Structure formats: structure tokens, C-alpha cells
Structure 1
């Protein structure tokens, strides 16, 4: 059985990845089963460099706040700002503290230096300004969209003034109250002001769409793209805050679904720019329905990858990363009857395997799901293997 799997194994490089695919996808996703492991970040960086040099990729997007990432994109395209400040202000979830992310940004800036704009690499975050435990105020997105429209569209068409938005938004602190996660009554998401903001956001986005010919003619491509992101983010955040204030059993399923649908919308917009490498957790990028249990409550929702796959078809490809060990987090040698155990039996430290061939080889074995002793690591679901285009296996994730 090991010999049969070995026949489907290649070294991890751009050529091996592309050999798994019928054509170059607009979105090539590289998932990971845990966050922050430098071994995985280094592999991602290496693959992106090869995709840039050999396959014409120009964009990388990661599971980080789409609004904050504008700081990083400005830096890598123009050199604006200081690298230390960019790493602090341009990433959410603490991603800016990781050496692999810093090296990625440094390399992209160096690569872009002296190149004409069409050849420059671009950076983007595709997550909303939120985490499952809370969300940002919609102020930046709403005022950014309003300001863009006010500068280009007659004031008589705007649904409100900037002063009205400011009054309805109020202070930012109630929007970001961490206590609202456990106590929905602390959320302002269903307050009268928030409900009015949802209507105004909808009208602002409708005006953006209705004025498309004029706005494209009077904007740079980056200004137009940013305005559309403001619109997606404003409506998504207000929807997220609405469900944050909900007290029904639907609350968590809605929050999980809204987050992944916001991710999908951002990724679909990036796909219009040209081929991009997507870096995020396996769970956000898989083609299958996601599930989890919160206490006694089973939850299911469609992942961003499932939404994108339904929309893009073969123009979306996804590689899942599987890990053998993360010993510094108590994840030891995988049991031999798991997917990770079968892959661990091979001698290579890291490789990519054709997922469909692997599924055919191990199908009769009915591998058991691996159980993780650490909450921060998600083992591979054997039922999902055939739904990936490839699996990248890393034998051991050493401490950073």
C-alpha cells in the first residue's frame, strides 16, 4: 500500500502542482490544518515565488482582514510606510508577528522595486474585519463608500449625509464589545440605528451599481475595486452584527455562514484581477460543507471554498495541507490507520500527492479520522480527500 501511494507523490513545487490540474486556475488555494506554523508559511512563500516566476501569478491573498491589508498592499506596490509598522497595522489575527509573513512582505516589496505597475505583485486579505468572537465597527467601510460616492455622484442621489452616518454609527466601542459574544443583549446589531444603517448601506451599494459606467470612467481601477470592497464589507459587517444580537438557536450558524460568504465574495472579486494564490485554513477552502458542534448544538454551513467552487468550477483549485506531527503542541506520530499515518509512512519530509489517486488507493482501507489532542489543529477528514485537487504533506512542523 505504501508503494502504491508513493507512485502518486511528487516534490512540492509549482510544476508538480500544475501537473495535477487541467489548466491554470484563477484561484489556487493552499490550505493549512493549523495557523502560525513557520514550516507551512515557508512552504507557502516558496510556492508563491515559483508561481510568480513560472506561472504568471501576481496576487497572494491570506485569511486576514481585507481592510487592514490595504496597508500591506500599499507597501508592497509603492513602498509606502515602514515594514515594522506595516506588519503591525496591516494584519489581523496577530498574523503580522510571524516571521514567514514578514518575509513574504519583504520579498514582494523587493520584487516590485522598479517594476512597472502591471508587473507588480499585489497583496490582499480576504477575511472580513471580524472573528467568530466579535467584529469591527462598520464605520470605516460605510464612510469609505460614502466618501467615494460623494466625490463622484451628485449629492441629490446620495441616500444620506456623512453627518447622518456618523450620528447613527455613534461610538465604536459598543460595536466591538467583547462581552456580546456570550451575551447577545450587549450587541448593538439590532438597535434601531443599526437597522437604519443596514438600509442605508443597501442603498449606497445599489447606487454604486447603478452608477457603474460613470464611476469606472472617473476612477482608477484600484479606486473602483476598493469602493466595491467597502460596499461588500459594510453590508456584510452589518449583517454579522445583526446576527450577533440574535438570541435564537440559528445565531451561530448564521455567524459562521456570513463570515465564509464574505470571504467568498472577496475571493471572487480578486479572481477578476487575475490568477491568485489563496492561503487560509483548510476548513475555509474545502469544497465540502463545514460542520462543528458547539456544546450540544450541531452546526453546518457552506465554506468559502464550497461557494467559490460552485461559482468558478474548474477555475478554482484547492490543495489541502496535512501534517504528521506538531510535537511542541502535543501532536505526536499519527496512528497508521489515519490518512496522516499512511502519508507519514513515506520517507519524504514534504511532498504533494494527487488527492484523487490517493483516495482510490486508500478507499478500501476506510481510514479512521485522526483525533487531535490540541484544539488548534484540525486533522484531515478522510471523507474529504477525493474532493481536493492535491494534498501537500509536511512530515514534521518544528517549533518556530
Structure 2
């Protein structure tokens, strides 16, 4: 197995990664097959530092709440707040407790200390304010967008007052009720108030667009970027809550597609600002359709954020899929024969990158089969996806931290 690819393995370094790709991507997507392993996050951190220092990248986006991430960005760019507070409030999915994430934020703050404002390294979240168990209230996004518009445009152009907006939103607990994920009847996503809020959100986003020349003259680029982020998030959250109230067989597919659509919108906005490294699960970054079975539902398929972004950006989007060999503390032993991971595991290097087309040729020759995982939180590399992946980053062992 080793013979066919041993000459193509490269170190996981920015310069070597760029040699794998046809052009310098605007969005370089580094996918991971499992969450929460600092070994993989340490690799991500090293690569991002090199991309900043050698390739001119200035933004990293993680699979974390895009609104909470504003707290992290304020800290790394201007020192606002404390590191402890930022790690507690600036991440979703409990990822603020990660040692590697803390080291990333600390490094970004340190490197920005000597940089001019227009050259600082930025932090972003690609995800919406969502968890697998539910979604946040749209209050923060709607209120912040309304505040931005109210500060800069004539009051008669606004679709409603701040008081009316607050009345329509009601109690946040109604929006965040986790029982709604399993029981659509408990969702408030299709109440008369929610329907009116969707119209108001649409009107406010339209106002952002139709007042663009004026807003460009009276507000900063960062303020406008945040306003558009609030607009995308408000519209996406209201759409997500609406589908939570749905009772049709397409409910889960709509929810998953809506989430990844929000991610894609955030990635495209970041790409418009400059080159960005995004780190998320492979299922959110791959070009092939993603699939999931959960809570007794049959398999659900949807197009990922990567597939949507790649369609828009073409070769300015690149996906590096991380694959791993063993993760023994999760019950994942060395890969069995005839899997893609076994081909990679035969090489002497412990971490390396390889062009996916080279690996695809070897996998096809040996009729590689998909690896089966004993751990539900780990998704092995699918051999059928290799033709639509740009590169594979292999980590032979993920020890318990």
C-alpha cells in the first residue's frame, strides 16, 4: 500500500499545502473527522500561524456561534475584556474550555499587539447561534440590526419601532425551549408574531442594501460587516425556528440545510474581506452531500456549507479533509486493511498531507472500503469523496490529552 503514495506525502506546512492546490484559495477549509481533540486543534493552530506569517491569511473561522465570536474578535484585535471571560463567553458548544483554543486566542492577541489596525488577525464563527438540541432567540441579532439602522437612517424608513420589536419577540425562553427539537408543536417558529418578525427582518436587511451608499458614508466597514452579520443571522434563525415547527417528513433535512446555509453565508462574507482558514467538521466542509441519521429518523441528506461555498467560489475554495489512524481512548484502534486510513497508516510519518487525487488512485486500485467506527463521534473518510477533496491531512494517532 505504501509504495503508491510514499513519494507524495508532504509535511503539514503552509508552503507544502499551497503546492497541493491549483491556486491560493480564498477559503481554505480544514476539516476534522471528530470534535474536541486537542491534537487536531494543535495542528490547526500551527498551520494557521504559518498561513498568517507566510501566506497573508488574516482570518480564522471556527465551527462556533458567529455572534459569540464577536467577543473573541474584539479581544484579539483590541484587547477588550479578559482572556478568561472571552473563553467563557466567546465560544459555543463548550469549546471555550479547550486548551488549544485558548492558546489560539492568546497567540492572536499577542501577534496583533504590533500590527496596524488594518493588518490585524481576525477571529470569526462560521456557525449560527445553534446547538444540535435547539436554537437561540433571534433577539440579539434583530435588536442589534435595528439599533444600527436607527442610528443612521430616518425613523420613518424602519419597519417597526424598538418597542414593537421587543413585544413581538416576547420571552426568550419560548424560543430556546429544547423540547421543540423533538416536538414541533412546542416551537414558536410559526406563530403570528414569528411570521411578522420574518417580514420585519427581511425589510431591515433590504434597508441595509438600499441604504448602502449612505451607510458607507456614515459608518465604518466593521460596523457594516457586523450589521450584515446580524441581518444574515436574524433571517437564518427565524427560518430555522419556522422549520422547527414543521411536521412534514422534510423537517430535519430543512433544519440541517438551513444551518449549513447560514454557515455558507458567513464564509462568503469572510471571503469577501480576505483569505480565511475555516476549521470545522468534514461534514460541513465537503463538496459531496452530507448525511446523518439521528433520533430514530431515517438517513437525512443535505448540501453542506462547503458544497455551497465551493459552488460560488470555484477553485478559490479548497477542502483539506483530516483523517486519523487510531484514537484508542475512544475505542478506535489502528485502521483495518482495505480502508483509506490503512493506506495512510502504512507510511512512516505520523502527520502529513497528500494530494487527494493521488490517494484516490491508490484507493480505487485496491478497492478500498469505508471504515466503520466504533465511536459515534468519529466519521472516517469516505473513499467515494476523494475525487472531490483537494488534499488529505493524516494524523496517525490521537492520544488522550
Band of TM-score, shorter chain: over 0.9
Could you say which residue in structure 1 is the equivalent of 2:350? 349
Could you say which residue in structure 2 is the equivalent of 1:55? 55
Could you say which residue in structure 1 is the equivalent of 2:387? 386
CA distance in 1, matches of 2:282, 2:64: 15
Could you say which residue in structure 1 is the equivalent of 2:326? 325
Q: Structure 1 residue 293: deviation in Å?
A: 2.8
Contact 1:20–1:354 (CA<8 Å) still a contact in 2? yes
Could you say which residue in structure 2 is the equivalent of 1:167? 167
Task: Give the 3-state SS of the residue equivalent to 2:332 in structure 1.
Answer: coil
Task: Give the 3-state SS of the residue equivalent to 1:206 in structure 2.
Answer: helix
Contact 1:291–1:298 (CA<8 Å) still a contact in 2? yes
Deviation digits for residues 227-271 of structure 1 (CA, Å, limit 9, x no counterpart) = 000000000000000000111111100000000000000000000
Task: Give the 3-state SS of the residue equivalent to 1:19 in structure 2.
Answer: helix
Could you say which residue in structure 1 is the equivalent of 2:180? 180
Q: Given the two structures, how large is their TM-score scaled by the length of structure 1? A: 0.99
CA distance in 2, matches of 1:216, 1:288: 38
CA distance in 1, matches of 2:126, 2:293: 25
Structure 2 counterparts to residues 12-23 of structure 1, below 5 A:
12-23=12-23
Q: Structure 1 residue 338: deviation in Å?
A: 0.5
Could you say which residue in structure 2 is the equivalent of 1:368? 369
CA distance in 2, matches of 1:275, 1:32: 20
CA distance in 1, matches of 2:211, 2:132: 34
CA distance in 1, matches of 2:263, 2:140: 18
Structure 2 counterparts to residues 61-80 of structure 1, below 5 A:
61-80=61-80
Q: Structure 1 residue 296: deviation in Å?
A: 5.1
CA distance in 2, matches of 1:95, 1:217: 38
Q: CA RMSD in A?
A: 0.8
Could you say which residue in structure 1 is the equivalent of 2:396? 395
Q: Given the two structures, how large is their TM-score scaled by the length of structure 2? A: 0.99
Could you say which residue in structure 2 is the equivalent of 1:312? 313
CA distance in 2, matches of 1:292, 1:53: 38
Deviation digits for residues 255-305 of structure 1 (CA, Å, limit 9, x no counterpart) = 000000000000000001111101000010001111123435231110000
Deviation digits for residues 107-166 of structure 1 (CA, Å, limit 9, x no counterpart) = 000000132112210000010000232000000000000000001010011110000000
Task: Give the 3-state SS of the residue equivalent to 2:257 in structure 1.
Answer: helix
Could you say which residue in structure 2 is the equivalent of 1:83? 83
Contact 2:363–2:383 (CA<8 Å) still a contact in 1? no
Number of aligned residue pairs: 400
Could you say which residue in structure 1 is the equivalent of 2:143? 143
Contact 1:8–1:358 (CA<8 Å) still a contact in 2? no
Contact 2:77–2:122 (CA<8 Å) still a contact in 1? yes
Deviation digits for residues 54-82 of structure 1 (CA, Å, limit 9, x no counterpart) = 10111001000000000000000000100
CA distance in 1, matches of 2:164, 2:97: 38
Structure 1 position 194 matched with structure 2 position 194: yes
Greater shift after overlay, 62-71 or 362-371? 362-371
CA distance in 2, matches of 1:305, 1:205: 24
Task: Give the 3-state SS of the residue equivalent to 1:125 in structure 2.
Answer: strand
Contact 1:132–1:256 (CA<8 Å) still a contact in 2? no
CA distance in 1, matches of 2:375, 2:102: 26
Could you say which residue in structure 1 is the equivalent of 2:11? 11
Structure 2 counterparts to residues 179-258 of structure 1, below 5 A:
179-258=179-258
Q: Structure 1 residue 23: deviation in Å?
A: 1.7
